[in-house]
Structures are given as C-alpha cells and as structure tokens.
Amino acid sequence: MGPKWRYTPVVEQSIAEEPSASQPLVQRPKRADAARNFDKLLDAARAAFAEQGDVKLEDVARRAGVGIGTLYRNFPTRLDLLQTLYFDEIDGLRRTAAEIAGKDPWEALATWLHAFAAYTATKRAIAHELLATADRDAPQWQAARSVVVGTGEALLAAAQDAGAARRDVSWTEVGRLANAAAAIPGQTEEEVARMVDLVLDGLRAR
C-alpha cells in the first residue's frame, strides 16, 4: 500500500487518503453549509479556468460568492484547489458510469464518451499548471487513471461484444480521438458535443 496522501485542509479533508478505483477521490465536507460552499468553489474554479488560463484565487472566491478565508479553509494552497478540481472531474466520470450501468451498450458508451470529452476540456484548462507540480505517482493519480482507462475499456468492449462498435479499435485510440475533439480552441459545448458525435459515428460497426 502506498503512502497516505498528506493534503489536510483546515476544516475537513477533501481528498481521500487511500483511494481506489471503486471509491470517490474527493470527500466533501459533512456539514450542509460547508458542502455547499465547497461545491460553489469547485464550480467557480471550473468556470474560471475554462474562460482563462491565469486565474487568481481571489477571483474564484468572488465568483463563488464566498470570502477568501472560506476558500483557504477548503483549499489551503492553489495546488490543493487544482488537484481537487481534477479529481472531482474523475469522480464525475465514475458517477456517470454508475448511472448508465445496465443501459444499451452503445448508448452507455456514447453517454460516457461525451462526459469524457467534458472532463478533457477541464483537464486541459488546468493541465499545464497542475501537472508541473503534482506527484503523478501518488495513489490518487493511479486510482484516477484506473477509473478513466478501466471504464473506457469496459464500455468499448461491451459495445463491441454487442456488435455496435467496430472491433478494430482500442480504447487508447477512441480516447485520443475524443481528447482531440475536445481540444480544439474556441469551441462551445455544443460544438464539442458535435465533434464527439462524429467520433462516435466513425466508431459504429458497419
């Protein structure tokens, strides 16, 4: 077992100490008001980084409608905020996978691939700053990779076994295409969704 994560916010720990591919990476505060502020800050950070690369923490707090002290109680450093935002996106992919369990294999793959593209857009907005300082060998990063790769591979295999998706492609190829579709600068959410639909159209079994 790897070393425990040492990130410890003042109020409550927000990143799981010993994550796995089956457990959430982000632990929200238990108090309802604290949880609301936590989510407001993540939503504000997500929107701010999507709009511009150089984001000040004061701007995130202002956008969330809370004081800077509230931000620092949840995220003592800028890296804490970036990592929590990233891992929250991974947890979103996990929740989407749980919601589509039992659905038609092609529909499940299509739904999750759209969610994957949205995650990719957020990741790209913070990747340069985050990946330059984060310890990507830490247990959280390993668990995050397991969620993305494991879910993508399983959904693609199910669609292939059902005869809905081409068998001559791998998840690595599909993931790269969806990643590229979401990476085109200046796109709206609708344009990203259309690009993913085009990827899916090429993935269908003929």
Q: What is the pTM of this model?
A: 0.81
Q: Is residue 176 situated within a structural domain? A: yes
Domain presence at residue 64: yes
* Structural domains in the chain (count): 1
Residue 4 lies in a domain: no
Nearest Cα to Cα of residue 70 among 35, 98, 94: 35
Domain assignment present for residue 2? The answer is no
* Residue 181 pLDDT exceeds 50: yes
Enumerate the β-bridge partners of residue 15. Answer: 26
Which residues, in sequence order, are CB contacts of 35 under 8 Å at separation 6+?
A: 28, 29
pLDDT for the residue 6 = 28
The residues near 41 (Cβ < 8 Å, ≥ 6 apart) are 60, 61, 64, 66, 70, 71, 74, 75, 81
CA 41, CA 144: separation in Å to the nearest integer?
Answer: 21
**CATH number of domain containing 194:** 1.10.357.10
**Does position 161 have pLDDT exceeding 90, yes or no?**
yes
Cα–Cα distance, 53 to 135 (Å, whole number): 21
**How far is the C-alpha of 205 from the C-alpha of 186, rounded, in Å?**
31
Longest CA–CA separation in the chain, Å:
57
* pLDDT tens-place string over residues 14-43: 444 444 445 789 988 889 999 999 999 999
Structural domain range at position 77: 32-203
Q: Is residue 113 part of a domain?
A: yes
Task: Please report whether residue 166 resides in a domain.
Answer: yes
In the structure encoding, which two tokens stand for residue 181, read together?
């579709």
Q: What is the pLDDT of residue 140?
A: 86
Report pLDDT digits (tens) over 94-148.
Answer: 999 999 999 999 999 999 999 999 888 888 888 888 878 777 788 888 899 999 9
Residue 131 lies in a domain: yes
Position 177 in a domain: yes
Which of these, 113, 124, 130, lies nearest to 173 by C-alpha position? 113
